[in-house]
Amino acid sequence: MEADGLTHTLDFQLDIREGDPSLLTDGTLESRRVVNEIFRLDKEGWDWDDIEDAVVDRSDHVQNTTQRLVAKATTALREYYGDEDHDYGRPNNNVREPFPIRMNHGEGYDLSLDGDTNDIHFRVSALKHNHVRGVLTGSPDHVEQLQTALQDEDDEWRVGTAEVVPVDGGHELHVNVTRTTADVAPKEDAQTVVGVDINEDCVALAVLDEDDIIASVIIDYTRIKERRHEFFTIRKRMQQNGQTAFETVLQDREKRYVHDQLHKISHGVVEWVSQFENPIMVFEDLTDMREDIEYGTRMNRRLHSLPFAKLRSYITYKAAWEGIPSDAVDPEYTSQECPRTECEHRVRANRRGKRFKCVVCGCQDHADRGAGISIAKKWMSKEERNVPLLKILPGFQQVRREASGRVDRPTATPSLVGGHQTESGAGVLR
């Protein structure tokens, strides 16, 4: 973990009570103009320090808002120059869509807590000398977290940058809040061990204690892969037709979509894991993780590689926020090993796609759940814990993420092997 704490983004709606709401649209369009200008000057070979000076000078945004935009645009440029495949192409400088206004707290925007009503008041400088003011509204847990952060600022919490984000014809305020003293439990205190197996289409979680397997779930997200493939196909067609401005818009949309989905999945994972006693989450060491997947083409490789590392870092991050520690084990054989402790036979032939059948003892399982079990067991033996026998493997839940539109409620589906169907509550994977 970084020494300076953990940062979360909280989303709010803006109840504007002073100032013209259309200023926010003007502000997001000015942000786009600034970002376009940065991309254009970079294309013309300007030095980045000179770009910053020129852009800050011409901008209708307050100085440090423009500087935040420069930082964001140069990050995109660094990604472009660092990606040798260049498969997203050079950042386009002719896009017309609004771009988020990125602001420092106390400068481009300000928040204050009303001591009597507990309302959170905001001031946003949509443009230089052009403010809108009002009250933030949002989900109860986001409002509560921000209230806490504003109360304890300078102590345990810090309110950082925020963005005015265009959403469905209106605007949202996304506020970064940092908890400076995040208390992650020591791994020695862990009583339940959650083996996490991340795959291209699902994440499998197996929860073990020293006596038995307690629960397991498979969260399926095949739909993300499908959606990314759709995005990819459309973008390629646009490239061929020279519609590069549209392509950039679509890239942003795709990145936002993937980010959103991974965020929701990791949230669900951590929420599910929180129900167990003093849990620790155990992952495979990432470096060798992709050995199972066949990469027919370069496109395939890129489609698959992105979400992996991200999903894991989102999960570890959110877990740490909840005080749950994470650790990793050597990934070797986890997907080929028989989960029954007295057998543990390892051979490639045990696994066929998602089906696992041990060629020695005949034990059958969903291959990814089995891998989750092996990961948890590996950690237990590494830590010299008692490893449960697991003579019988119980059923497991399977949850599917419907990734289309705004539906974010997981729906239970019958499990593939020996499982039972369960109800899942709103947004809760259990």
CB-based contact 245:404 (threshold 8 Å): no
Q: Residue 75: which residues within 8 A CB-CB, separation 6 or more?
A: none
The string of DSSP codes covering 149-161 is HHHSBTTTEEEEE
Alpha-carbon span 414 to 167, nearest angstrom = 35
User: Whose Cβ is closer to Zn ion: residue 347's or residue 407's?
Assistant: 347
Instruction: Kindly state the smallest distance separating residue 334's Cβ from Zn ion, in Å.
Output: 14
User: Whose Cβ is closer to Zn ion: residue 8's or residue 345's?
Assistant: 345
User: Whose Cβ is closer to Zn ion: residue 361's or residue 428's?
Assistant: 361
Instruction: Kindly state the smallest distance separating residue 396's Cβ from Zn ion, in Å.
Output: 18
DSSP SS3 for 162? strand
Instruction: Kindly state the smallest distance separating residue 394's Cβ from Zn ion, in Å.
Output: 17
Q: Which two tokens stand for residue 276?
A: 């167990």
Place of tokens 């997947």: 293
Instruction: Kindly state the smallest distance separating residue 205's Cβ from Zn ion, in Å.
Output: 22
- Tell me how crowded residue 104 is: count the other CB atoms within 10 A of its CB: 17
CB-based contact 322:270 (threshold 8 Å): yes
Q: Residue 91: which residues within 8 A CB-CB, separation 6 or more?
A: 39, 42, 73, 76, 77, 80, 248
The string of DSSP codes covering 205-261 is EEEE-SS-EEEEEEEE-HHHHHHHHHHHHHHHHHHHTT-HHHHHHHHHHHHHHHHHH
User: Whose Cβ is closer to Zn ion: residue 187's or residue 357's?
Assistant: 357
User: Whose Cβ is closer to Zn ion: residue 227's or residue 346's?
Assistant: 346
User: Whose Cβ is closer to Zn ion: residue 128's or residue 346's?
Assistant: 346
Instruction: Kindly state the smallest distance separating residue 370's Cβ from Zn ion, in Å.
Output: 10
Instruction: Kindly state the smallest distance separating residue 280's Cβ from Zn ion, in Å.
Output: 26
Residue type, 355: R
DSSP SS3 for 307? helix
Report the DSSP pairing between strands 326-329 and 279-284. Answer: parallel
Alpha-carbon span 220 to 93, nearest angstrom = 37
CB-based contact 25:98 (threshold 8 Å): yes
Instruction: Kindly state the smallest distance separating residue 358's Cβ from Zn ion, in Å.
Output: 3
> Among 119, 128, 123, which residue's Cα sits nearest to residue 105?
123
User: Whose Cβ is closer to Zn ion: residue 314's or residue 356's?
Assistant: 356
Alpha-carbon span 409 to 317, nearest angstrom = 22
User: Whose Cβ is closer to Zn ion: residue 198's or residue 358's?
Assistant: 358
Q: Which two tokens stand for residue 273?
A: 């894991």
Instruction: Kindly state the smallest distance separating residue 144's Cβ from Zn ion, in Å.
Output: 49
CB-based contact 365:417 (threshold 8 Å): yes
Residues of this chain that bind Zn ion (CB under 5 A): 338, 343, 345, 358, 360-361, 363
Instruction: Kindly state the smallest distance separating residue 348's Cβ from Zn ion, in Å.
Output: 14
User: Whose Cβ is closer to Zn ion: residue 320's or residue 373's?
Assistant: 373
User: Whose Cβ is closer to Zn ion: residue 345's or residue 385's?
Assistant: 345
Instruction: Kindly state the smallest distance separating residue 337's Cβ from Zn ion, in Å.
Output: 9
